[in-house]
Amino acid sequence: MSHFQPVARVPGDPILGLMDAYRADPSPAKLDLGVGVYKDAQGRTPIMQAVKHAEQRLLTSETTKSYTSGHGDAAFGDLLLQLVLGQDSPLLAGQRAGTTQTPGGTGALRLTADFLSHCLPGRGIWLSDPTWPIHETIFAEAGLKVGHYPYVGADNRLDVAAMLAALEQVPSGDVVLLHACCHNPTGFDLSHDDWRQVLEVVRRRELLPLIDFAYQGFGDGLEDDAWAVRLFAAELPELLITSSCSKNFGLYRERTGALIVCAADHDKLLDVRSQLASLARNLWSTPPAHGAAVVATILGDAALRTEWQSELDLMRDRVLRLRLGLVEALQPFGLAERFAHIAAQRGMFSYTGLSPEQVRRLRDESSVYMVGSGRANVAGLDEQRLGELAAAIARVC
């Protein structure tokens, strides 16, 4: 008897699978606009200098490889809390917020999903349509009922009115997942005024917000990108935030992230945190240490922090330049207006508006790789080859 006989093969992950397909493509002209990693002018995903310097320090200063706690590295937790909520946040003084370190932002989402299904059973979760595909599966896998609110209209434009109308219909008590900035996959972010309106619906409908904050510093800057998170934290008694250090510290493979809980008071925070430690114990026991130690070293040292911030600023500026450059390169093909939204979007991604068929043709005919939904990782563009890409796009439009 074969025990594995009933096991069927499932398709590979569409985003990670693109990395493999790209690596296997022998074309020297290939272009990887798939998975969300930053690339420099040479097409490399570099280790940040601040990270290298922190690692050099850790090499000599680290004294143990014993387990961290269920909530991870305490220094990392405190410093990340300040980065996300702001040093002067009253939540810190009131001890109303706490960090649980997780393996990447994905781990934070997974822990959130388990927390909701164990501790708040029966709550549905509402995701933007579209959203990061793993949002869809992670909450469904944990047994939550997943619903959607519209985000982008058929014209590939942000549709806040439709979003607000849908949120008005969400059952009281349900969870609504919002992207703090650099919306994945569209790149369309809410304005401050839009956020205030969302806050009012969330408050009126007594919804529990979960803000996914995977790109702090990649949109308009570390502080600006945290604006909505801080607004919600100031205005609401309870909030869940998933934070990632993959992109802003370039620590992708170190799996460094956190679930931040804001509770009405310290005592309730401790209740929630006791559950999170218990749930995490059954998922990964204690989180991986290295990335968190790097982040804590950088954020805890004025010189390293300055170095890191200026590297992050350069990355963000480069992505913004690439956005403008691509729209400009599309001008000679009469496509600048059609793709003008690329310059207005923020973060790594652009929902280009290209159809799955056009994406397939770009890949087959020009070795340009992007996600089938038409999502392009702008941070993967090559400044010297924007004309080439524009010509490839023109051929399929």
Q: So which residues are the catalytic ones?
A: 132, 212, 247
Q: 113 or 166: whose CB is closer to ligand LMR?
A: 113
Q: 89 or 131: whose CB is closer to ligand LMR?
A: 131
d(CA 371, CA 378): 12
Backbone angles phi, psi at 375, to 5 degrees: -80, 125
Residue 15 found at the interface with ligand LMR (CB under 6 A) = yes
* The dihedral sign for the CA sequence 11, 17, 18, 22: negative
* The dihedral sign for the CA sequence 164, 170, 174, 179: negative
Q: How far is the CB of 35 from ligand LMR (least distance, A)?
A: 4
DSSP 8-state class, residue 383? G
Q: 89 or 128: whose CB is closer to ligand LMR?
A: 128
**What Cα–Cα distance (Å) separates residue 96 from each residue in 3, 226, 257, 304?**
50, 18, 20, 29
Q: How far is the CB of 141 from ligand LMR (least distance, A)?
A: 15
Residues 275-294 that bind ligand LMR (CB under 6 A): none
Task: Report whether the peptide linkage leading into residue 130 is cis, meaning its omega lies within 30 degrees of zero.
Answer: yes
Q: 132 or 273: whose CB is closer to ligand LMR?
A: 132
> What's the token pair of residue 300?
């805890």
d(CA 298, CA 79): 10
Considering CB under 6 A, how many residues would be counted as binding ligand LMR?
Answer: 5
Q: 46 or 171: whose CB is closer to ligand LMR?
A: 46
Q: How far is the CB of 274 from ligand LMR (least distance, A)?
A: 29
Residue 35 found at the interface with ligand LMR (CB under 6 A) = yes
* Partners of residue 107 on adjacent β-strands: none
Q: How far is the CB of 140 from ligand LMR (least distance, A)?
A: 16
Q: How far is the CB of 247 from ligand LMR (least distance, A)?
A: 8
For 381, residues 6+ apart whose C-beta sits below 8 A from its C-beta are 31, 33, 39, 322, 325, 326, 389
Q: Which residue is nearest to ligand LMR (CB)?
A: 36
SS3 192: helix
Max Cα separation, the chain? Answer: 65
Provide the terminal-to-terminal Cα distance of the chain, rounded to the nearest Å.
54
Q: How far is the CB of 301 from ligand LMR (least distance, A)?
A: 28
* Partners of residue 152 on adjacent β-strands: 158
- Helical H segments across the chain, by residue range: 14-24, 49-61, 74-85, 90-93, 104-119, 133-141, 160-168, 192-204, 222-225, 227-235, 266-283, 290-299, 302-330, 341-344, 356-366, 386-396
Q: 35 or 378: whose CB is closer to ligand LMR?
A: 35
Q: 122 or 356: whose CB is closer to ligand LMR?
A: 356
Q: ∠386-388-393 over CA atoms, to 5°?
A: 90
Conformational region of residue 79, where left means phi above 0, alpha means psi within -120 to 50, and beta covers everything else: alpha
Q: 45 or 197: whose CB is closer to ligand LMR?
A: 45
Residues 168-187 that bind ligand LMR (CB under 6 A): 184
The only residue of 38, 76, 115, 132 in contact with ligand LMR, by rule CB under 6 A: 132
SS3 376: strand
- Residue 184-223 contact track with ligand LMR, rule CB under 6 A, x = bound: x---------------------------------------
Residue 77 found at the interface with ligand LMR (CB under 6 A) = no
Q: Which residues lie near ligand LMR (CB under 6 A)?
A: 15, 35-36, 132, 184
